[in-house]
Amino acid sequence: MELDAVVRAIVTDMRLLDGGDRLRPLDSLTLIELVAALENETGRDLARMQLTRDMFKDLVSIGELLDRAR
């Protein structure tokens, strides 16, 4: 499955989309769950990165984050 499709599937399953490709505001626990799901599905290590909320504002920003985590 293509990376964009994986990200879309995860945020859709978690019901995080706030219309279009934007994510609703995430609380800290949901953010941790999202990071864990992204790591599990992509094999990328995000925990070692300096993460900010801006990296989780929409599908594009999450894709860019995953690209940097290669």
- CATH for 3-68 is 1.10.1200.10
User: For 30-65, what is each residue's pLDDT tens digit?
Assistant: 999 999 999 999 999 998 899 998 999 999 999 999
Classify residue 10 by its DSSP letter: H
* CB atoms inside a 10 Å sphere around CB 7: 22
* Residue 19, pLDDT above cutoff 90: no
* Spans of all domains in the chain: 3-68
Which residues lie closer than 8 Å to 65 by C-beta, 6 or more apart?
A: 46, 49, 51, 55, 56
Question: How far apart (Å, rounded) are the C-alpha atoms in residues 50 and 18?
Answer: 25
Q: Which residue has the tokens 């995953």?
A: 66
Give the DSSP H or E segment for 30: helix 28-42
pLDDT, position 28: 93
pLDDT of residue 60: 95
